[in-house]
Structure 1
Amino acid sequence: MPRAAPTTPSRSAQGPNWPRSTPQPLPAPVRPLCWTCPGTVGARRLARLEAPISARPRRMHSDLDRLINLTGRVAIVTGGSRGLGRAMAIGLAKAGASVVVASRKVDACQEVVDEIVALGGRATAIPVRMQEHEDIEALVATAVARLGRLDIVVNNAATVLDRSLEAMTPEAFTGAFSTNLLGPLLLTKAAAPHLAEHGVGAILNISSIAAVRATPTRYLYPAVKSALLQHTRSLAAHLAPQSIRVNAIMPGTFRTDMVEKAYTEDQLAETAGHTPLGRVAEPTELVGPALFLVSDMSSYVTGAVLTVDGGQTLIA
């Protein structure tokens, strides 16, 4: 079948005078939708993230400093004259807090105060017996009178006096719970009105991995430390409307003077061998977790229990 003739003559059929169309400019290239392409905001952010720490803007360091900075805040550390309490008291002072070092022996507390002052910090020593309600109320009142306010309470004082079931007496039971549980409860009660004043109140309870491990030869200490965890959760819920956060730490085995008196070097070596990280901790290794839980770095954390044990509770 013959093809129909075209209705529009070809350019060659019309001769050289056929009008040519006006050339149109090419469209501008479309900018790629790439978050990290050169010149984009994303590229600039990525460059900052990939830069060495020393080359990053000072603002990043300033933000971190602000979160961990405790300048202007006042902390009470019970059992603060030795071991974990001493390490935390000095750590809080280095972060800028004014520290009340509290324990039964005021001379031992004063030694820690002198260390803090020598480092350029501010601290005071106040004796306290955690079984005595009057002592606890006096501790809070004196701390506020001397330092002007109260923002942080670290309930670290404890007794490890223990008895087997066969040797248990009502007096031993009452004594252990008075120091390790009733004491922190009464201190929290006395401190709460002051902790609520500035909206940054924080309470840190020092428990133990003994709270979650069965120990056939020890009864009182694990029972009390377990109760302290529930005390932490209940008070966290109760005090949250007042902007007071309550958290706990469960330490594993730390090389404190108390532990070194209770364990031989062979026993400590055996403990280290059963610990996934392969060693016993130093007291200063509790400072970082403690600072996290009492500073603005954990401003949305309450009722939490942080295990600091090198992995001891990961294995039987």
Structure 2
Amino acid sequence: MSFGGDVALVTGATRGIGEATAKLLAHRGAHVLVSGRDEERGHRVVDDIRAAGGTADFLPASLADATHCQALVAEALDAAGRVDILINNAAIGTFGATPAIPEVDFDACYALNVKAPFYLVGALAPAMVSRGRGVIVNVTTMVASFGTAGSAVYASSKAALNHLTKCWATEFGPHGIRVNAVAPGPTLTENAKAVFGEDGLTKMMRQAPARRAATPDEIAETIAYLASDRASFIHGAILPADGGRAAT
């Protein structure tokens, strides 16, 4: 599973699943464009990649609107000339009872979780089409496919991204672009542990065959598989990486 010669842009790559994915793709030969808001963390991820023998650049980005997305694409093209693999990982987890969600939080969640991938794909896919190759992997969530109290905003935003995955697979697949998504279950990232606690994440998986939360590296391996040529005949799939929760 080699990515030698490929350029990969990973959003939300300064921590968690994004960081693990950036490091894995770099380890397997990709030149990785590490994107995120935290410059200190971003430079640390790049330093780690370079220390391990890989190549990477940090591109700071907030992805608050279409203009910011287009600016990130311009920086990516300036840094590497092209993007062969786009990993739409950056996200906000907005949770709470529906009547209690402020409009500003709703808008921020949809802006990052739906609008940003939409405009990044819109800016990058045409060049992929002209080259006749490219891969897009969207990171969604298991709760996009079933109801859970308190996650209406987050889950619905990721359900929208699941459907965009299928629409883009249909739109760009005939031109050599593969578009798929990974739907993780609870994962032991810093953010998730801060919000739910490690015990809370484990409790979420009581009904799942795995009976435990994932590590970021396990999700990164799934993302890397879909980005690789080994998944060459997979288009428009929403691949659960949820310890079997979707089966229960």
TM-score normalised by length of structure 2: 0.95
Counterpart Cα distance in 2 of 1:291 and 1:214: 28
Deviations 1:141-172 (A, max 9, x none): 21122112210000000001234221234333
CA RMSD, Structure 1 to Structure 2 (Å): 1.5
1:223 aligns with 2:156: yes
Deviations 1:248-284 (A, max 9, x none): 0100011110111012343234234433112211111
Contact 1:151 1:194 in 2 (8 A): no
1:275 is matched with: 208
- The residue type paired with residue 193 of structure 1 is P
Contact 2:205 2:245 in 1 (8 A): no
Q: 1:271 to 1:161 in 2, by over 3 A?
A: closer
Q: 1:111 to 1:245 in 2, by over 3 A?
A: same
- The residue type paired with residue 185 of structure 2 is G
- The residue type paired with residue 54 of structure 2 is G
Counterpart Cα distance in 2 of 1:271 and 1:173: 24
Q: 1:247 to 1:114 in 2, by over 3 A?
A: same
1:296 is matched with: 229
1:182 aligns with 2:130: no
Counterpart Cα distance in 2 of 1:268 and 1:162: 15
Contact 1:250 1:308 in 2 (8 A): yes
Counterpart Cα distance in 1 of 2:73 and 2:192: 29
- Which moved further from structure 2: 269-278 or 283-292? 269-278
1:261 is matched with: 194
Counterpart Cα distance in 1 of 2:187 and 2:34: 20
1:288 positional shift:
2.1
Contact 1:100 1:126 in 2 (8 A): yes
2:127 is matched with: 194
1:205 aligns with 2:138: yes
Counterpart Cα distance in 2 of 1:159 and 1:303: 23
SS in 1 for 2:155: helix
Unaligned runs of 5+ in 2: none
1:1-316 map, 5 Å = 68-315=1-248
Q: Which has the higher contact order (CA 8 A, sep 6+)?
A: 2
TM-score normalised by length of structure 1: 0.75
Counterpart Cα distance in 1 of 2:75 and 2:198: 41
Deviations 1:176-195 (A, max 9, x none): 11110001000001111232
Contact 2:202 2:211 in 1 (8 A): no
Counterpart Cα distance in 2 of 1:153 and 1:214: 29
Deviations 1:215-234 (A, max 9, x none): 12221001101111101101
1:32 is matched with: none
- Which moved further from structure 2: 92-101 or 139-148? 139-148
1:119 positional shift:
0.8
Larger radius of gyration: 1
Structure number having the greater helix percentage: 2
Unaligned runs of 5+ in 1: 1-67
Counterpart Cα distance in 1 of 2:96 and 2:177: 35
Counterpart Cα distance in 2 of 1:237 and 1:260: 36
